Structure 1
Amino acid sequence: MTDSPRPGIIILIVLGAVTGLLSGLFGIGGGIVLVPLLVLLLQFPQRLAAGTSVAAILPAAIVGGIGYAVQGNVDWIAALCLAIGIVIGAQIGSYLLSKVPTGFLRWMFMVFLAAVAVSLWFVVPQRDSEIGITWFSAVMLVVTGLITGVLSGLLGVGGGVVVVPILMFFFGASDLIAKGTSLIMLIPGSISGTLGNFRRRNVDLRAAAALGISASVLSPLGSVLATHISPLWSNIAFSILLAFVLVQMALKMRKPKTK
């Protein structure tokens, strides 16, 4: 994708701020919300929106991850295992991004949103739970990171929407540790995916910088708010947010295209 939209800085800052707050609150990169907003509001092509989102995730992930780490809500061994997988997977995903048809990509993204929203109603962790690290669980964390990296590069999501529910449901993590560990994992994943997307010209660096910097301002606030919301209500709020985005994308795709 060679031509990129040139939206105003103000709208980018606003979208970035919203993304950063959600990033810190739910332990996600924010791409799950940012990609649809870039497509629906700013008319970004799907591939460019995905690539730009991956780049914009980086500042918010760094700042939000620090916020969780300061509060002791990061499992560093799990984050390292996930990071190993996501760095490799992000390169695969960014390659597939330039090959997969746009229409299929949008439907894949919508199915992905629906699956995550439903899963959140079945995953309600205990706040004092921790991740038990064994050789087997370490290998499975690397595999999880690999799959997450592919989805990150392909769909433009940071991967937190995949990793957070998996860490809670399959690895026994509390919601706060899952969110903090996810944000730390997103840092190398975002760097890897952005390098791949940049080579294939699927990223708007100007927009990514504006989005990322503004997102990093509110990301710490989100991480603080997360500690004051129960795991159940956090899951409910997240699933409602994803359902709203899904409905908006479905309505957009049903509208006839006009030249």
Structure 2
Amino acid sequence: MNTPDLAPRRNWFGLVLTGLAVGFASGLFGVGGGIIILPVLVYLLGFDTKLAAGTSLLAIVLPSIVGVVSYALEGNVDVLLAALLAAGSIFGAPIGSWLLSKLHKRAVQWTFIAFIVVVIVSLFIVIPARDAVVQIDLLTGALLVVVGLFTGVTAGLLGIGGGVIVVPVMVVVFGASDLVAKGSSLLMIIATGLSGTIANIRRKNVDPLAALAIGLAAAAVTPFGVWLAGTLSPQTANIVFAGFLVLVIIRMMVDAWPRRRRGEGA
């Protein structure tokens, strides 16, 4: 497949460093890492925004696979839970992409920031039990699909989703173990990442070599992040995850903050 003309000259060192950071975060927090990859590719490595989004989506697949295997070896992956989340997310992503042209993006960003603030507060109130099991009945299954749908819509609107939403919601709302939430989140991310990548390849919005460089570097350190997640107490894990969400808010505020047009006076 030909790499799109919008791809700059690849900075291999920068791509590998990005991958190392992504792999650690992916294993520790159960997130795909797009929240890290996208701004690095756009603001530091000179990628076009659409190409960066497509490349990010492909790059997160490898560390997610390694993360799922690592969590599964300790029995911390719920396949049914992940499948229900993925079912909603796959349908939600195109809806979010459609809404992108209908809604004011900055208003959506600030609404999502408010949602993350509520999540952060909740993480200091609800401490998960490591032996907790989510009993999935008809109602719970439907709610999981709705959470997945919301995650997919958010991903389509803002390029953010996956573990940033799923992990805290699983812990706070459904009472899941934080480790099961993270392992299941990564399994969901594999499905959504692959489905989204197929569409991006057709539109030539992927730089496969850059995605491979990030993905391989990330996959190499993901097991260390998973190991560290298991060594932290549930309370400490919540605090660390809350700190990560604060960084997510800062990143989103930078994007959402009104910018002066070039040439405008001070």
- Tell me whether the two structures share a fold, i.e. TM-score over 0.5: yes
- Would the alpha carbon gap of residues 249 and 186 (structure 1) be closer, same or farther in structure 2, given more than 3 Å must change? closer
User: 1:217 and 2:213 equivalent?
Assistant: no
| Aligned ranges 1:178-193 → 2 under 5 Å | 178-193=181-196
Work out whether residues 52 and 206 of structure 2, in 8 Å CA contact, stay in contact via their aligned partners in 1: yes
Match of 2:236 among 215, 225, 233: 233
Q: Which residue of 1 aligns with 2:153?
A: 150
TM-score (norm 1): 0.86
CA drift at 1:154: 3.6
- Matches of 2:177 and 2:225 in 1, distance apart? 17
Work out whether residues 113 and 242 of structure 1, in 8 Å CA contact, stay in contact via their aligned partners in 2: no
User: What are structure 1's unaligned runs of at least 5 residues?
Assistant: none
Q: Which residue of 1 aligns with 2:112?
A: 112
Q: Which residue of 2 aligns with 1:122?
A: 122
CA drift at 1:134: 0.4
- Matches of 2:92 and 2:213 in 1, distance apart? 26
Rg (Cα) greater in structure: 2
User: What are structure 2's unaligned runs of at least 5 residues?
Assistant: none
Name the SS of the counterpart of 1:120 in structure 2: helix
Match of 1:26 among 22, 26, 29: 29
User: 1:135 and 2:135 equivalent?
Assistant: no
- Matches of 2:84 and 2:248 in 1, distance apart? 31
- Matches of 2:111 and 2:39 in 1, distance apart? 13
Q: In terms of mean alpha carbon deviation, does 206-215 or 23-32 score higher?
A: 206-215
Name the SS of the counterpart of 1:203 in structure 2: coil
Match of 1:38 among 32, 37, 41: 41
Q: In terms of mean alpha carbon deviation, does 165-174 or 230-239 score higher?
A: 230-239
Match of 1:199 among 198, 202, 208: 202
- Matches of 1:171 and 1:249 in 2, distance apart? 26
Name the SS of the counterpart of 2:231 in structure 1: coil
Work out whether residues 95 and 196 of structure 1, in 8 Å CA contact, stay in contact via their aligned partners in 2: no
CA drift at 1:142: 1.6
- Matches of 2:5 and 2:167 in 1, distance apart? 34
Deviations 1:41-83 (A, max 9, x none): 2233433332222111111111101100110011111112112
Q: Which residue of 2 aligns with 1:79?
A: 82
- Would the alpha carbon gap of residues 198 and 36 (structure 1) be closer, same or farther in structure 2, given more than 3 Å must change? same
Q: In terms of mean alpha carbon deviation, does 212-221 or 61-70 score higher?
A: 212-221
CA drift at 1:107: 6.5
**Two-structure CA RMSD over aligned residues (Å):** 2.7
Deviations 1:4-55 (A, max 9, x none): 2333111001101100100000011111222222233223343333222211
- Matches of 1:51 and 1:172 in 2, distance apart? 33
Partner letter of residue 122 of structure 1? S
Match of 2:174 among 171, 175, 188: 171
Q: In terms of mean alpha carbon deviation, does 178-187 or 151-160 score higher?
A: 151-160
Work out whether residues 87 and 149 of structure 1, in 8 Å CA contact, stay in contact via their aligned partners in 2: yes
Deviations 1:111-139 (A, max 9, x none): 53553254133133222211111011111
User: 1:159 and 2:162 equivalent?
Assistant: yes
Work out whether residues 74 and 180 of structure 1, in 8 Å CA contact, stay in contact via their aligned partners in 2: yes
Work out whether residues 121 and 235 of structure 1, in 8 Å CA contact, stay in contact via their aligned partners in 2: no
- Would the alpha carbon gap of residues 232 and 257 (structure 1) be closer, same or farther in structure 2, given more than 3 Å must change? farther
- Matches of 1:146 and 1:247 in 2, distance apart? 25
Name the SS of the counterpart of 1:122 in structure 2: helix
Work out whether residues 24 and 222 of structure 1, in 8 Å CA contact, stay in contact via their aligned partners in 2: yes
Partner letter of residue 221 of structure 1? F
Q: In terms of mean alpha carbon deviation, does 57-66 or 241-250 score higher?
A: 241-250
